[in-house]
Structure 1
Amino acid sequence: MPEEKNGGDTATVKPRRRQARGERRIAQLLEAAATVFCTTGYTAASTSSIAREAGVSPGTLYQFFPNKEAIAVELGDRLLKQWHTTYGEALTPAHIALPLEELLDAVLDPLIRFSLDNPAFGALMHGSDVPGHIAREHDVLHSTSLARVEEIIATYCPDMPRADATRTARTAFTIYKGGLDLILAAEPDEREAYIAELKTVLYRYLRPTFTDPETGDAE
């Protein structure tokens, strides 16, 4: 009877170990794919180049992913999940009570840091040649982000007509995206300066129309 029990325990442990090794291998392949997508773009990337970057054979890669698209979708889904967590922390309702300058710090800092830490997110979400699933998720992401920015502006500017709030939100969001591109393209020692410039531009654009949500006074 003890032998049967030990045998059962061994049989249980082995699948768990295989599963853990498989998860590590998937993480390794996704990390390699992120590097390749950032370096060459999605279209030019290949399963061979991803396998080479990961230090494994193409055959090993195909044990986990049937093609490049499947790798991109898995990587995109994981990055989107991380982004939604960051987005929720950055655009939490508690931040709406902050003065404009503090609001910009609270919202922009985590979003910019996420983009700097995950360059593959931009490579996948903004590419015109990525799988349709990722493109659709990006469209949802854009709409959700824009709606949240509009909600914040409407809170700070309660007397602003809705059409004006929508236009202001779209303009501010476009300024943010353009500034983020400059930040991501800048040399590491220049990034903080570009981040400061982006905040200055947004502050000067929004300040004339913003009121303090606590007092109703102009910023």
Structure 2
Amino acid sequence: MTGAKRQLDPRKQPLQRRSEETRRRILDAATHVFADHGYDAGTTNRIAEYADVSIGSLYQYYPNKDAILLELATRHLDAGVELDDRLRMPDTLPPLHEVISTMVRNSIDNHRADPEFLRVLMEQAPRSSELMAKVVEVKEARTARLRDIMARSPEVTVDDQTTAAHLVISTIEMVVHRLLAGPEPIEPERLETQLIDMLSRYLTAPAT
């Protein structure tokens, strides 16, 4: 394990309820501090003050703010994976529109709580190798799942289904990120309706 990797690992794995509560307070505080002050100004001192813990206590759990950010980002990605587990239906094939609707709604639901923090995460935070590896892992899993559904769906008319699956997943991720966490966010219900319609038409358009 490299020194850089060790610097991003949480120092203390909470085994008791009190320890877990302290870590949760630190993570919640970091979300607010990064959203209010940006990543550069979101210091560990500010996070500790907001969490009402000593800076020494914070360092018992995280060596630096990069490690805090990595855990917050990982939790955000894992929450999206848990939502996508609804699509695991081995015995039945849901209508394609339902699949796309579920993916779009899951992505929107996972962005509703803290759009300002997600904007900071997307625009200001450093891209560690651990974080990027997690992003790639989640994206590849979502793409493979959609590609499998498309291959079995009689509704799909697009020829290059591998490329189409990549396009759909990338479009959902980028559009939801940009339009919910941007400076002039679109109302989520309107975004959901339009994005579902656009992607469903792309996959099922009659061949010309």
- Indicate the TM-score class for this superposition, using the shorter chain for normalisation: 0.7 to 0.9
Task: Please show how residues 32-71 of structure 1 align to structure 2 within 5 Å.
Answer: 32-71=29-68
Amino acid at match of 2:182: A
Q: Taking structure 1 as reference, are residues 185 and 166 closer, same or farther at Cα in structure 2, changes over 3 Å only?
A: same
1:176-203 Cα distance to aligned partner (Å, 9 max, x none): 2233121343878822111111112112
Q: Which residues of structure 1 form unaligned runs of 5+?
A: 1-17, 211-219
Aligned residues: 191
- Aligned-partner Cα distance in 1 for 2:187–2:91: 28
Among 73, 80, 84, which residue is 1:83 paired with? 80
Q: Which residues of structure 2 form unaligned runs of 5+?
A: 1-14
Asked whether the 8 Å contact 1:51–1:58 carries over to 2, the reply is yes
2:136 paired with 1:151 = no
What SS does structure 2 have at the residue aligned with 1:66? Answer: coil
What CA RMSD, in Å, does the superposition of the two structures yield over aligned residues?
3.3
Asked whether the 8 Å contact 1:153–1:165 carries over to 2, the reply is yes
What SS does structure 2 have at the residue aligned with 1:93? Answer: coil
Normalised by the length of structure 2, the TM-score is: 0.73
Asked whether the 8 Å contact 2:119–2:181 carries over to 1, the reply is no
Asked whether the 8 Å contact 2:119–2:182 carries over to 1, the reply is no
Task: Please show how residues 185-204 of structure 1 align to structure 2 within 5 Å.
Answer: 185=182, 190-204=187-201
1:101-158 Cα distance to aligned partner (Å, 9 max, x none): 3332233223321222354567547766133211211111122222222222222259
2:169 paired with 1:173 = yes
Asked whether the 8 Å contact 2:150–2:161 carries over to 1, the reply is yes
- Aligned-residue sequence identity (percent) comes to 29
Q: In the alignment, what sits opposite 1:23? A: 20
Normalised by the length of structure 1, the TM-score is: 0.70
Q: In the alignment, what sits opposite 1:116? A: 112
More helix by share: 1
Asked whether the 8 Å contact 1:76–1:134 carries over to 2, the reply is yes
Amino acid at match of 1:29: I
Larger deviation, residues 77-86 vs 45-54: 77-86
Where relative contact order (Cα < 8 A, 6+ residues apart) is larger, the structure is 2
Asked whether the 8 Å contact 2:156–2:203 carries over to 1, the reply is no
Q: In the alignment, what sits opposite 2:3? A: none
Deviation at 1:68, TM superposition (A): 1.4
Deviation at 1:165, TM superposition (A): 0.7
Asked whether the 8 Å contact 1:51–1:57 carries over to 2, the reply is yes
Amino acid at match of 1:34: T
2:129 paired with 1:132 = yes
Amino acid at match of 1:68: K
- Aligned-partner Cα distance in 2 for 1:187–1:161: 33
- Aligned-partner Cα distance in 2 for 1:57–1:48: 9
- Aligned-partner Cα distance in 2 for 1:115–1:155: 30
Asked whether the 8 Å contact 1:146–1:170 carries over to 2, the reply is yes
